[in-house]
């Protein structure tokens, strides 16, 4: 669970999210306990964890565990040692994949073939050195059958110079050319203010645990932090396909 969410729980902040009622008395008891901790909270889901008496709670895109009476909260990774499966990460992958699949590709800046072998979402910062290195190899990624979909994540936050540069790119007459110019350290031409998704994409990244750039997010919700070279990325993706034919 991120520091922001932990702060909400400890400080009694207000969070409003959709909740899928499961109609189970024990689930409702956990929900009531959560309401006492943070009045007004509406989690995305609550379900029994593999540990008896402990429940998985999804709130603000993060996963944590709570006892039915609300007395004990577990923050961290839940691992099934029998199968060597990180259950928390597997749940987060589902959450990330769902969040990404709900996005409109027209709000992204996309480089690559329409019928790509694989699609990779990249949270990027115009001023990030490794992001610029990644973009230098964009043609190589595309030649290997990878579609790169850029999402804005100005690390310095909304209102920063990096944020303003991202807005310039997304609002440019030719966003693709603007992205290439900006990541080469050149000024973006033909810029104008417009309605843009930069702030929303930045907030989405934060809710999904993104805290550095570039962060690569695969279609199944797997996160690859940092720069991954084209052939290495293809190898990772092909290994996933082989493991889950």
The catalytic position among 31, 91, 128, 132 is 128
Burial 39-53 (b: 16+ CB within 10 A, else e): eebebbbbebbeeee
State how far the Cα of 146 lies from the Cα of 110, in Å rounded to an integer.
11
Instruction: Look up 125 and say whether it is catalytic.
Output: yes
CB contact at 8 A, 140 and 230: yes
Question: What is the per-residue DSSP string for 171-182?
Answer: HSSSHHHHHHHH
The catalytic position among 31, 96, 131, 149 is 131
Burial class (CB in 10 A: 0-12, 13-18, 19+), 83: exposed
The catalytic position among 91, 96, 125, 127 is 125
161 three-class SS: helix
Q: What is the CA radius of gyration of the chain?
A: 20
The catalytic position among 31, 96, 132, 155 is 155
Instruction: Look up 131 and say whether it is catalytic.
Output: yes
Instruction: Look up 194 and say whether it is catalytic.
Output: no
Residue with tokens 């699949």: 101
Instruction: Look up 128 and say whether it is catalytic.
Output: yes
State how far the Cα of 191 lies from the Cα of 186, in Å rounded to an integer.
13
User: Which two three-digit tokens encode residue 11?
Assistant: 């400080």
Tell me how far CA of residue 47 lies from CA of 68, 124, 198, in angstroms.
11, 34, 33
Tell me how far CA of residue 121 lies from CA of 27, 111, 154, 197, 231, in angstroms.
35, 11, 15, 15, 16
Active-site residue set: 125, 128, 131, 155
């Amino acid at each position: 669970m991120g520091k922001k969410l932990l702060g909400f729980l400890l400080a009694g902040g207000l969070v409003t999210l959709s909740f899928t009622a499961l109609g189970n008395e024990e689930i409702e008891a956990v929900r009531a306990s959560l309401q006492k901790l943070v009045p007004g909270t509406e989690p995305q889901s609550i379900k029994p964890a593999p540990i008896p008496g402990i429940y998985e709670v999804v709130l603000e895109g993060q996963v944590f565990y709570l006892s039915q009476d609300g007395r004990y909260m577990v923050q961290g990774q839940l691992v099934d040692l029998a199968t060597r499966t990180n259950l928390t990460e597997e749940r987060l992958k589902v959450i990330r994949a769902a969040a990404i699949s709900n996005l409109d590709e027209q709000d992204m800046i996309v480089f690559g073939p329409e019928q790509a072998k694989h699609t990779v979402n990249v949270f990027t910062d115009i001023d990030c050195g490794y992001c610029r290195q990644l973009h230098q190899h964009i043609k190589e990624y595309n030649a290997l059958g990878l579609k790169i979909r850029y999402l804005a994540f100005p690390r310095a936050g909304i209102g920063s110079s990096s944020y303003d540069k991202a807005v310039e790119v997304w609002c440019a007459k030719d966003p693709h050319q603007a992205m290439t110019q900006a990541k080469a350290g050149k000024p973006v031409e033909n810029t104008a203010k417009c309605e843009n998704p930069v702030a929303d994409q930045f907030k989405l990244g934060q809710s999904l645990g993104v805290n550095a750039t570039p962060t690569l997010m695969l279609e199944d919700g797997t996160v690859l932090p940092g720069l991954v070279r084209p052939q290495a990325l293809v190898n990772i993706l092909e290994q996933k396909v082989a493991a889950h034919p």
